[in-house]
Amino acid sequence: MNHNPYSRYYVPGPSPWPFFVGISANGLAVGLILWLHRSPSCLLMGMSISCMMLSILSWWRDLIREGDMGFYTRFVIKSFRDGVALFILSEVMFFFSFFWAFFHNALSPSCELGMRWPPPGIRTPNPSSTSLFETGLLISSGFFVTQAHKSVRLKDYDVGPFIGLLMTILCGAVFFLVQVREYYWNSYSIADSVYGSVFYLLTGFHGAHVVVGTIWLTVSLVRLWRGEFSSQRHFGFEACIWYWHFVDVVWVTLWLVVYVWFGGWLYMWWFKMWDGDIYSFKYPDLKFSWYAYIQEEHCPSWYKVPDWLKP
């Protein structure tokens, strides 16, 4: 490590960890392709995951050591902030692509889907059941981690941040277990039309982000226990909080859009509230309506297709 005291930025020396991370990432990609072709290689996946974890841990260890040695000036910390902000922005665009696919199919269902959304045969999960409990977990975890950050800034290094982080980690772990249980009891799979594909891609990738965020919170808890954070120097913890709040916002948006709005339950609640009297047009006028579903027993006579138009 060579540090120039007259430079605003610290330039690290040669490190083997980027090379090993790249090699292990390539092995994971090859292993995923083999698994998709139904010829998985457990040895390749195991070696790649082990190499990836050891390399990342060693890389993080070096970063923490460099910070403890005082190599990171305020200019370096600012570059870290900009990097984390751009990383979260890239994650926003990542989920934006899946939401785009969802809205593209939900707002204008194709003929192959029966011109309906959700497609026929899909029994969507109830948004007031398991998913509502998951939403409460993540919102509560956001309050807990914010309280932990507030305690660190107030120089409370004994009780407040530990309780907040432990509760946040517990909420993240319970969320993941509840989501696995929801997957087990769902009546459709990722192969059931575009709804199943987009649903499991959205919730699955979000679940993966919850796992990553929980691991990051655990690392922050260990560093806090070792006394590596202070009221003025805790950007690693602050970046973790940014990431966790991003995970919270994505889930709340996902729950409102996928579960409540386009899951068909919002219309069902509205339909029951008005006892079926929700139709906004008369058949002779052929004006457009916002609703997507018509139950046969509530369908008025003027809406039904006339006999002379039937084949």
Per-residue pLDDT for 293 more than 70?
A: no
The contacts of residue 281 (CB under 8 Å, 6+ apart) are 287, 288, 289
pLDDT of the residue at 232: 81
More confident residue, 170 or 281: 170
Structure tokens at 311: 């084949």
Q: Render pLDDT for 3-15 as a digit per residue (tens, 0 to 9).
A: 555 567 777 778 8
Per-residue pLDDT for 182 more than 50?
A: yes
More confident residue, 2 or 241: 241
Q: Render pLDDT for 267-276 as a digit per residue (tens, 0 to 9).
A: 666 666 656 5
Angle subtended at Cα 224 by Cα 221 and Cα 225, rounded to the nearest 5 degrees: 85
Give the closest residue to 262 by CA, choosing from 101, 93, 35, 23.
101
Distance CA 210, CA 161 (A): 20
State what percent of residues in the chain have pLDDT above 90.
39
pLDDT of the residue at 250: 95
Cα distances from 109 to residues 19, 118, 119, in angstroms, run 46, 9, 8
Instruction: Give the mean pLDDT of 70-86.
Output: 84
pLDDT of the residue at 178: 94
Give the closest residue to 152 by CA, choosing from 206, 220, 213, 67.
220
Instruction: Give the mean pLDDT of 22-44.
Output: 89
Instruction: Give the mean pLDDT of 77-105.
Output: 91
Distance CA 38, CA 43 (A): 15
Per-residue pLDDT for 284 more than 60?
A: no
pLDDT of the residue at 286: 42
Per-residue pLDDT for 139 more than 90?
A: yes
Give the pLDDT band (50/70/90) at residue 88. very high
In order of start, what are the domains of the chain with their CATH numbers? 1-71 (1.10.287.70), 72-310 (1.20.120.80)
Structure tokens at 298: 């509530």
Per-residue pLDDT for 207 more than 90?
A: yes
pLDDT of the residue at 243: 95
Distance CA 244, CA 148 (A): 13
pLDDT of the residue at 290: 37
Angle subtended at Cα 221 by Cα 220 and Cα 223, rounded to the nearest 5 degrees: 65
Per-residue pLDDT for 26 more than 60?
A: yes
Q: Token pair 């785009």 is at which residue?
A: 100
pLDDT of the residue at 280: 47
Distance CA 208, CA 246 (A): 13
Strand extents, DSSP E, the chain: none
Give the pLDDT band (50/70/90) at residue 254. very high
pTM check: above 0.75 = yes
Distance CA 260, CA 209 (A): 22
Per-residue pLDDT for 199 more than 60?
A: yes
Per-residue pLDDT for 302 more than 60?
A: no
Q: Which of 79-83, 110-114, 121-125 has the lowest mean pLDDT?
A: 110-114
Q: Which of 1-15, 59-73, 244-258, 279-293 has the lowest mean pLDDT?
A: 279-293
Contact 99, 201 (CB under 8 A): no
